[in-house]
Amino acid sequence: MDAISLLFTASVVAVGIYWFICVLGSAEQKGKSALHLSGGSISADKVGDKYNQYWSFFCRPKEIETVEKVPAFVDTFYNLVTDIYEWGWGQSFHFSPSLPGRSHHDATRAHEEFAVDLLGVSRGSCVLDAGCGVGGPMRAIAAHSGARVVGITINEYQVNRARLHNKKAGLDKQCEVVCGNFLQMPFDDSSFNGAYSIEATCHAPKLEEVYSEIYRVLKPGALYVSYEWVTTELYRAENPEHVEIVQGIERGDALPGLRSYDQIAETARKVGFEVVKEKDLAKPPAGPWWARLKMGRIAYWRNHIVVTFLSWLGIAPKGVVDVHEMLFKTADYLTRGGETGIFTPMHMILCRKPVDAN
């Protein structure tokens, strides 16, 4: 092979690698690049250790019930997974019912806009996003409703990512992000016109505590809507397969324990809410929310090759490979949970703080 042919071949290979890593693997335009995968606020040399520490948490189940330990556990999880989620999934870390003839992006936005439509807030209202992640839902809801949205997340790295995205979207004046624990929020009583949580309160060790905080910061008469991760009426604790699926979901998603669907409204009423509506949005005629996971299997193997290659080059932290593999296994448990009908990530509850509440 002459020098020109060799140079041409090398150029083609270089372009192919660039396209494979930087273009093909990105879930959203202007999203996270594979070349910049990290462990969030964790230094690159500690990612592997933090992953092992995260996984060992499940070897001590008594600690999962300790409120003081759970926030740090969840914070570690989101340091480990945030970049991978953004790169492979997008800026909205949640599921949505599939819509015939519409893209995953469109289905996601419709699911988010439905939440704020339920709140009935007007333009200029102040709405709380309890567990905002990197702010995908926040930006969609702010743009759709005209409301001012204040999000809170326990993970400082996510705060920085959300603020960056808000600025890029031109919504930084309308969207505010606060680093904090939604079990102890730094907001005054009765300060919000509405509130929502999209697949976030599942991380709370006790649902009553986060619902109580949301109740506290809402104005009397204001509405709160939440999409909850729960086991359904089809779940059987005596069925080994069901138990395996649920435990797989818990371990791969930093959950102190999945709740049953019948505990949600009961908890809301216990803290003082009036329950306006309750519905599993995953049930027919909604399309299967797990379809996106099944369709993404090829993308996983492609992405896993990319992650492994970048880790081998020293560009990505070595522990990122283990985290990516964990998320793939978790996707299988989530799919099985959806197919068997024993799990739903979108048990919707709409609550109102009584008008005469103190």
357 pLDDT higher than 60 = yes
12 pLDDT higher than 50 = no
Q: What percent of the chain has pLDDT over 70?
A: 88
Mean pLDDT for the stretch of residues 181-191? 96
123 pLDDT higher than 90 = yes
Whether pTM > 0.75 for this model: the answer is yes
Of 1-10, 20-29, 112-121, minimum mean pLDDT range: 20-29
pLDDT of the residue at 6: 54
Mean pLDDT for the stretch of residues 101-122? 94
Averaged pLDDT score across all residues of the chain: 88
Give a three-class secondary structure readout of the chain: CCHHHHHHHHHHHHHHHHHHHHHCCCCCCCCCCHHHCCECCECHHHHHHHHHHHHHHHHCHHHHCCCCCHHHHHHHHHHHHHHHHHHHCCCCCCCCCECCCCCHHHHHHHHHHHHHHHHCCCCCCEEEEECCCCCHHHHHHHHHHCCEEEEEECCHHHHHHHHHHHHHCCCCCCEEEEECCCCCCCCCCCCEEEEEEECCHHHCCCHHHHHHHHHHHEEEEEEEEEEEEEECCCCCCCCHHHHHHHHHHHHHCCCCCCEEHHHHHHHHHHCCCEEEEEEECCCCCCECCCHHHHHCHHHHHHHHHHHHHHHHHCCCCCHHHHHHHHHHHHHHHHHHHHHHCCEEEEEEEEEECCCCCC
pLDDT of the residue at 29: 44
194 pLDDT higher than 90 = yes
**pLDDT range class, residue 280, cuts 50, 70, 90:** very high
60 pLDDT higher than 70 = no
More confident site: 95 or 24: 95
More confident site: 309 or 330: 330
Q: Which tens digits make up the pLDDT trace of 312-355?
A: 888 888 889 999 999 999 999 999 999 999 999 999 999 999 99
pLDDT of the residue at 307: 86
The CATH code of domain 36-358 reads: 3.40.50.150
281 pLDDT higher than 70 = yes
pLDDT of the residue at 318: 86
pLDDT of the residue at 2: 61
pLDDT of the residue at 21: 46
pLDDT of the residue at 298: 74
160 pLDDT higher than 50 = yes
pLDDT of the residue at 313: 86
Of 108-112, 151-155, 234-238, 298-302, minimum mean pLDDT range: 298-302
216 pLDDT higher than 90 = yes
